[in-house]
Amino acid sequence: MYKVLLVDDDKTVRYMLKRFKNWEHYGFCIAGEACDGKEAFKRLAADTFDVIITDIRMQGMNGIEFLQELRARKIDICLILLSTYTDFEYAQQGIRLGVFDYMTKPVDDDILSDMLARVGKHLDEKRQASLRMEEEKRLLAESLALCYPEKGEKRLLALLLAGDRELLQEADSVFGEVCKAFGQADVLKIKLVLEKLLVNSRDEIYRQFPWLAKIGELVFPEADGQKQTIDAVREAFLEKLGEMLAVIRKYELHHTDGIIKKTCEYVLTHVEKDITLENIAAEVHVTKSYLGKLFKQRIGYNFTDYVTKVKMEHAKCLLRTGEYKNYEVSEKLGYSSIDYFCRLFKQYSGMTPLEFRKQGL
C-alpha cells in the first residue's frame, strides 16, 4: 500500500476525501492528516509517505510554499494539489515546480479514481526504476571490488604517510594498473576505483591525524558525476594525492621521531589555544631548551614559526567559511591583539585577511 498524507485546513474536505471507498482498490491508504504545511512537516518527520494531497490555499503556508519547502529540504514525494477553478494559475505554477497533477474542489470520485490509477502507475514505475538502479549499483560494486588494487593502495599509503615525493610516480603506476584491469575505455569504473582510493587514503590520514579535520584540511569537493576523459581522471587523481602529500609535509607529519610527532600533534590539537614551548616540553618530558633545539634540528626552522604556520592555515579555513569577523578569528586562535593577528597573517600569506576573503582563496 502507498501511504497518503492529506493536508488541508478544511476538515470537511479531508472528511470527504477519506469517505472515498476505493483507496485500497488502487493500492493506497490514508496514513496521516495535517491542517497546514507546518503540521505536515511534523508528520513527515515522524513517518514516511508516498503521496501528499494538499490544498493550494491554506493559512500560514500555502500549497506552493509548502512545495518549495519540500524541494528545499530535498524531500522527494509525489504531490497533488487541490484547487478551485479560480486557483488555476497557482496550479500551473505548482506543475512547473514538479507537482504530479492537480484536482479541483469539490473532488469528483471518477476524477479521483483516474488520478489514483495514474499515481499508482507512476509510483510503481519509480519503484521498479529504483530497484533496477540498486541492482546496477550492487553489480558495479562487485565488479569494482574484484579489481580493486589493494596492494597499490598500501604502497600509496606508505609513501603518503612517509611524506615521500615518489608518491606521484607510484600513483601513476597504480593508475596504469587500474586502467589495465578495466580497460581504458571503461572510464567510469576507473574513476570510481580511483575515487575510492582517494577516500580510503584520506580516511587513513584522518584516523592517524584526526585533528586535521578540525583545521579544515583535505576537504575535497564531491564528484561532479560528469563524464570525463581518461586523461582528466588521471590528472584529478594525481592532483588530489599531491594535495594530501602537501598537507603531510606542510604540517611535518612524516617525521618518525617520537618527540617531534608529539610536538606537532600538540600544536595541531591545540590550534585554537595559546601554545607555548614550555607546555609542550612538560608534555613530552624534556626541557624547553632541548625541545627547541631538537625541533629546529629535525624540522629546519623554529618552533614558533611552526605554530604560526598552523594557526595561519587554520585562519584561512575560518575565513573561508565567511562565518567569522577578523577579530573573532583572532580570538579563536588565541591572539589578544587583532592588529598582531592581521600583521602575522599578511607576513605569512602576503595579503591581509580582508584581501584573502575578497579573493575567495
Asked if the model's pLDDT at residue 225 lies above 60, the reply is no
pLDDT: which is higher, 95 or 61: 61
| Angstrom distance (rounded) from CA 123 to CA 160 | 48
Decide the pairing of beta strands 28-34 and 101-104. unpaired
44 bridge partner residues: none
Asked if the model's pLDDT at residue 90 lies above 70, the reply is no
Mean pLDDT calculated for residue range 160-166: 91
Distances (CA, A) of 309 to 111, 130, 234: 69, 49, 31
pLDDT-derived band at 168, boundaries 50, 70, 90? very high
Rg from Cα positions in the chain: 29
Long-range pairs, 24-31, Cβ under 8 A, ≥24: 26/113, 26/116, 26/117, 26/120, 27/1, 27/2, 27/116, 27/120, 28/1, 28/2, 28/3, 28/4, 28/116, 28/119, 28/120, 29/1, 29/2, 29/3, 29/4, 30/4, 30/6, 31/3, 31/4, 31/5
User: The C-alpha cell of 52 is what?
Assistant: 501528499
Structural contact between residues 241 and 171, judged by C-beta atoms closer than 8 angstroms: yes
Q: How many CB atoms lie within 10 A of CB 76?
A: 9
User: The C-alpha cell of 327 is what?
Assistant: 577579530
Q: Which of 19-23, 146-150, 175-179, 247-251 has the lowest mean pLDDT?
A: 146-150
| Angstrom distance (rounded) from CA 345 to CA 354 | 10
| pLDDT for the residue numbered 10 | 85
pLDDT: which is higher, 117 or 93: 117
Of all residues in the chain, what percent carry a pLDDT higher than 70? 90
Structural contact between residues 60 and 38, judged by C-beta atoms closer than 8 angstroms: yes
User: The C-alpha cell of 344 is what?
Assistant: 602575522
Write the DSSP assignment of 270-324 as a string of letters.
TTTS---HHHHHHHHTS-HHHHHHHHHHHHSS-HHHHHHHHHHHHHHHHHHHT--
| Angstrom distance (rounded) from CA 319 to CA 329 | 7
Asked if the model's pLDDT at residue 28 lies above 90, the reply is yes
Structural contact between residues 264 and 285, judged by C-beta atoms closer than 8 angstroms: no
Q: Among 308, 326, 299, which Cα is nearest to 267's?
A: 308
The answer regarding whether domain 258-359 maps to CATH 3.40.50.300 reads no
Asked if the model's pLDDT at residue 191 lies above 70, the reply is yes
Structural contact between residues 88 and 66, judged by C-beta atoms closer than 8 angstroms: no
Q: Which of 143-147, 168-172, 234-238, 315-319 has the lowest mean pLDDT?
A: 143-147
Mean pLDDT calculated for residue range 113-135: 88
Instruction: Express each pLDDT in 312-350 by its tens digit.
Output: 989 998 898 888 899 999 999 988 899 999 999 999 999
Just give the CATH number of 2-134. 3.40.50.2300
Q: Which of 74-83, 138-147, 254-263 has the lowest mean pLDDT?
A: 138-147
Mean pLDDT calculated for residue range 37-60: 86
pLDDT: which is higher, 107 or 56: 107
Mean pLDDT calculated for residue range 158-173: 92
Q: Half-sphere exposure of residue 231, counting CA atoms within 13 Å on the CB side?
A: 0
| Angstrom distance (rounded) from CA 69 to CA 47 | 17
